[in-house]
Amino acid sequence: MSTPKKTKPEAHLDVAALLGVCLALGGILTGLVLEGGGVISDVVKITGALIVFGGTAGAVMLTTPFSIVRSSLRRLKKVLFEERNSTKETIEEILVYAGKARKNGIVSLEADAAGINDPFLHKAVMLAVDGTELQSLRSMMELEMRVEMGDADTDARVYEAAGGYAPTIGIIGAVIGLIQVMKHLDDIQQVGHGIAVAFVATIYGVASANLLFLPLSQKIRIRALQSMRSKELMLEGVIGIIEGMNPRLIRRKLEAFSREVSHQSPAPTSTTAGATKAA
């Protein structure tokens, strides 16, 4: 049985995220145009955007260490672009290692381990080759999973905080606009126009919270959960190799994980709960 070609997964734009943004903005702007013949320029005001996004960024940076803010910004790439790992290919790769280990001993995997692209699988196989005790190996790899999940939760909290601040800062922007309107009460036409412009900041605040910041925080957690489930599959595969299980039994075991990975949900598991406590 030959060693499978180990290619690094390519990052692809998350089509669901792109369609979601287009549907949300398209629905809102279309409704604006249809409701009383409004025009898109009615809600495109640079001053409102500066107040909401500048104020929100300032509030987040005031409450969050800058290192975490930078980490959350770097994580946006993982949210907008997804790495399409083939669970089937991962299982086949593990089964090749299982067959070799069963035939020639687990030390024979040392050369194969050097070419594994996935850092988690590489580390697990190397620990197995080095003769690490099963319980110690499991503990070390599960710790790595919990730390990763905790980091993702911390980054998600940054966007949750932004989603909490943005609507309130939008109200502040509306009040600032109304203050300016009050200076021109002698011109009723200008007053009406000024009030309409003032409430644009509120729209920016509420819309950015519910269409951008809060969805981003949820997507970060779902991406982290997907990664954790894939790592669970790899870990159980390596443990099966260490235990000397028949490759056919390992396949059945990992295929159950495969079905679980393909039906992800953001509901917390025992590992996720532990990560949340650790965070």
Residues forming a β-bridge with 63: none
Average confidence score pLDDT of the chain: 83
Which amino acid is residue 270, in one-letter code? S
pLDDT at 36: 63
Of 255, 60, 82, nearest to 160 by C-alpha is 60
Alpha carbon distance 255, 253 (integer Å): 6
CB within 8 A of 107, min separation 6: which ones?
A: 129
pLDDT at 84: 67
pLDDT at 9: 55
Residue 161 contacts residue 64 (beta carbons within 8 Å): yes
Provide, for the chain, the percentages of residues in helix, strand and coil under a 3-state DSSP scheme, each rounded to the nearest 5.
Answer: 80, 0, 20
- pLDDT (average), residues 164-183: 88
Other C-beta atoms closer than 10 Å to the C-beta of 270 total: 7
CA-CA-CA-CA torsion sign (267, 268, 270, 271) = positive
pLDDT grade for 7, boundaries at 50, 70 and 90: very low
- Total-model pTM: 0.79
Alpha carbon distance 133, 143 (integer Å): 15
Q: Is the model's pLDDT at 38 over the cut of 70?
A: no
Instruction: Please tell me which of 28-42, 73-87, 204-218, 250-264 the model is most confident about, judged by mean pLDDT.
Output: 204-218
pLDDT grade for 270, boundaries at 50, 70 and 90: very low
Q: What is the pLDDT of residues 216-241, one digit of tens each?
A: 999 999 989 988 988 999 999 999 99
Query: Which of 37-41, 70-74, 77-81 comes out lowest in average pLDDT?
Result: 37-41
| Three-class SS state of 13 | strand
Phi-psi region of 85 (alpha: psi -120 to 50; beta: other; left: phi over 0): beta
Q: What is the pLDDT of residues 120-154, one digit of tens each?
A: 999 999 999 999 999 999 999 999 999 999 999 99
Cβ-count burial of 32 within 10 angstroms (0-12 exposed, 13-18 middle, 19+ buried)? middle
Q: Is the model's pLDDT at 157 over the cut of 90?
A: yes
pLDDT at 85: 66
pLDDT at 277: 39
pLDDT at 46: 86
Other C-beta atoms closer than 10 Å to the C-beta of 268 total: 14
Q: Percent of the chain, pLDDT > 90?
A: 44
pLDDT at 81: 80
Other C-beta atoms closer than 10 Å to the C-beta of 252 total: 11
- pLDDT (average), residues 79-106: 86
